[in-house]
Amino acid sequence: MKDERITKLAARLIHHSIQLQPKERILIRGHINTKPLLKELIDEIYRVGAYPYVELEDDEISRHLLLGNVKEQLDTASQWALKKYTDIDAVIIITGEENNAEMTDVPIERHRLQGEAMNSPTLFYVNNRRWVLLNYPTKASAQKAGMTFNRYEDFLLSVCTMDYGKMEAALKPLKQLMQRTDKVRIVSPRTDLTFSIKGMPAVICAGKKNLPDGEVFTAPIKDSLNGRISFNTPTTYEGITFSDIELNFKKGKIIKATSNRDPEMNQILNIDEGSRFIGEFAIGINPYILEPMDDILFDEKISGSLHLALGLAYDEADNGNRSSIHWDMVLIQRPEYGGGDIYFDDVLIRRDGFFVLPELHALNPNSLK
């Protein structure tokens, strides 16, 4: 039986996220197990009068390619990808995870080579084309989230089709406040970190680039981070799950990093010069996402959270940091996770995950639902 929520999600992606127009060309990249949504998207694109193009992906095939890739091969793939993204107007990327550990035996060097080669086409479409990224419900992602498949499917489809117009309006005062702010201070258990965001743009994320969504992001001045931060949310990078991460900063650079997987973590941090600097700071506010799911598309939007991303800065809020990685790490500050405060220019703006300034009260969970 057809699930009408899939039809609604396809319409949300085409009309809210991408805002597709007649005769535009749109590329859909999706895992083969996302076919129900792919078919709905194709039908909706044709109803608009636009032109769909589809690429099917498979993690097992990708792993085999990664294990043998060489620079000359990847350079050709990068050139093809750049030409492809030049020729289209928009991109939808749908992940249908089947095995979170599929890439765990691929050496970091292979990931680095691919990251460097594909950096140029990826940055081109991220900064010059309309795009949106989302996950499709699978048994693997449900298991990772600790849910039955039916519960996970209901949760994902509900949170992806919530009222993002209401969220966007509620986020505007936070965006304006961030753009007036110089000094940020984050205080939590084993955390006391300061940095500047003076003069940096702040960007609202309310269903245009990710589904689910719910954050405002900016970037710290590259050399301004000092202190330490401890993240209480596990994060998976290239199939390896890291927890108990603590980073120590001096003049913007990570001078010490610890986790449950110290050797692997420091190997990633040594991939290039930019991987020890921060490219993004963001505040998460989605009222329906409350617990970690080991899926960054969800975890970075958790209500009462914040996150920093190691590595590459986005053009929309560019602090000049360049890297082949962009690795988000999440700190939840609600009371059940240890609490914590965020200060802007020495003024408390959020305590224990709840905004205290009157102009930000609309971002608290009961107001956003």
The pLDDT tens digits along the chain (369 residues) read: 678 889 999 999 999 999 999 999 999 999 999 999 999 999 999 999 999 999 999 888 888 888 888 889 999 999 999 999 999 999 999 999 887 777 778 887 888 888 888 889 998 999 899 999 999 999 988 988 889 999 999 999 989 989 999 999 999 999 999 999 999 999 999 999 999 999 999 999 999 999 999 999 999 999 999 999 999 999 988 778 999 999 999 999 999 999 999 999 999 999 999 999 999 999 999 999 999 988 899 999 999 999 999 999 998 999 999 998 999 999 999 999 999 999 999 999 999 999 999 999 999 999 998
CA distance 266 to 275: 10
Residues 78, 199: one domain? Answer: no
* 122 & 255 share domain: no
Let me know whether 32 and 150 are in one domain.
yes
Range of the domain at 359: 164-368
Say if residue 8 is in the same domain as residue 44: yes
pTM of the model: 0.84
Which DSSP category does 182 fall into? -
Examine the domain organization and report whether 72 and 131 are in the same domain.
Answer: yes
Residue 195: which of 132, 252, 280 has the closest Cα?
252
Radius of gyration of the chain (CA): 20
One domain, residues 204 and 154: no
Let me know whether 194 and 340 are in one domain. Answer: yes
Residues 218, 221, 224: CA angle, nearest 5 degrees: 130
Give the per-residue pLDDT at 1.
60
* Final residue before a domain boundary, out of 101, 134, 160: 160
Do 77 and 168 fall into the same domain?
no
Q: How far is CA 46 from CA 26, 53, 105, in A?
A: 11, 11, 41
Number of independent structural domains in the chain: 2
For position 108, what pLDDT does the model report?
79
The answer to whether residues 191 and 214 belong to one domain is yes
Residues 120, 245 within the same domain: no
8-state DSSP, 286: B
Give the per-residue pLDDT at 145: 87
Same structural domain, 74 and 155: yes
pLDDT on residue 62: 87
Domain match, 198 and 303 both: yes
Angstrom distance (rounded) from CA 160 to CA 40: 15
Length of the chain: 369
- Going by C-alpha positions, the residue among 335, 319, 325 that lies closest to residue 276 is 325
pLDDT for res 99: 79
CA 70 to the chain's CA centroid: 28
Last residue of a domain, one of 160, 193, 224: 160
- Say which CATH number the domain at 94 has: 3.40.1830.10
Single residue among 112, 133, 160 that ends a domain in this structure: 160
Helix orientation angle between 262-269 and 108-128, rounded to the nearest 10 degrees: 50
